[in-house]
Structures are given as structure tokens and as C-alpha cells.
Amino acid sequence: KKYMKAGPRKYLYFNPNKVRAAIITCGGLCPGLNVVIRELVMSLWYNYGVKNIWGIKWGYKGIYSGENYWIQLEPSKVRDIHQLGGTMLGSSRGGFDNAKGDIDRAVDSLVEKGINHLYCIGGDGTHRGIKYLADKLRKRKVQVSLVGIPKTIDNDINVIDKTFGFDSAIEAAQLA
């Protein structure tokens, strides 16, 4: 397989003025989550001119759990969060319960809010959730860029040499 190098592109698929981005953190806590949130917001805002950025509280369930789970993000709200542990968005384990129609509810919510970029920070379970979302979005012919940002102290995501959180886990294990 051949992988494309990440980074800015000369031509953008989405018009930054029409981008509505959302960020979620899923799974267990590890160092660096607030740093990733901060840098996503700062990069979208200053590098691309994206002004509609949302944080979704408490992982995947926050997507479909109501307005109280969605907070508008801008540089002033995230400027100093890199100095704090954890995640300003909260996190939760668990993905979608198909018996309850969670995936459909999540897609309905993303469509209703006009989200066309979803940044999912988490481990292997989070990335399986991204796959379920991608399948459902494709089936409905809804265009949303799903971006998986690997985070796991287990370092168990294929094709990634080392995820953030892993070094901290090793250091803590060595001190035990």
C-alpha cells in the first residue's frame, strides 16, 4: 500500500467558509488530548479560515444527545487548555448501539447541524466507530470528512508506529 503524505494541499475540497467542523474525544484519558483539541481549533481557524467549529461532549453519544452536548469552539476558548490534563470535552467508552439506532441518530444529528468535518480522537474502538459512521454516511450519500486521530496508551492501531499517550504509559509502568 502507498500512503499520501499528510499536510496542507494546494486545492481544498471544502470551501473553508462553508466548513462546519466538530471534534470529539472518545475512550480513556491520556496526556495530550487538550493539545490536539487546541491545535485542531487553531489550525482550522487561522490556517484555513474555518469559523464554525464545535466540540461534542462525552464521545460518540454526545453527537445525538442534544444541544447541551455541543459547544462552539474558538481560539479564545482553547488558548490555554494545553496546560490542563484530560479533555475539555469529556470522554466516554463505547460506540454505537445498533439495537437503539444510535448510528442513525448520530448521522441525523450531523446532517441536521450541517457538519461536514468530524475529527474523532481515540483508540481502536473509536476508529471502528468511524468505520460504522462512514458506512452509514456513504449509504445515505452524505459527504462528511471523517478524520481519525489515533490516541491509545496500548499503541494497538495498525499502520501507526506510535500513538500519543503510549510514551506516558511506558514511563508510568517503569516507575511502578
**How far apart (Å, rounded) are the C-alpha atoms in residues 106 and 88?**
21
Q: Say how far apart CA 144 and CA 29 lie, in whole Å.
A: 26
Q: What is the DSSP string of 121-138?
A: EESHHHHHHHHHHHHHHH
Asked if 51 and 35 count as a contact pair (C-beta separation under 8 A), the reply is no
- Residue 69: CB atoms within 10 A of its CB come to 20
3-state percent breakdown (helix, strand, coil) of the chain, nearest 5? 45, 15, 40
Candidates 154, 156, 161, 167; catalytic one: 154
**Radius of gyration over every alpha carbon of the chain, rounded to an integer in angstroms:** 16
Is 154 among the catalytic positions?
A: yes
Residues labelled as active-site residues? 154
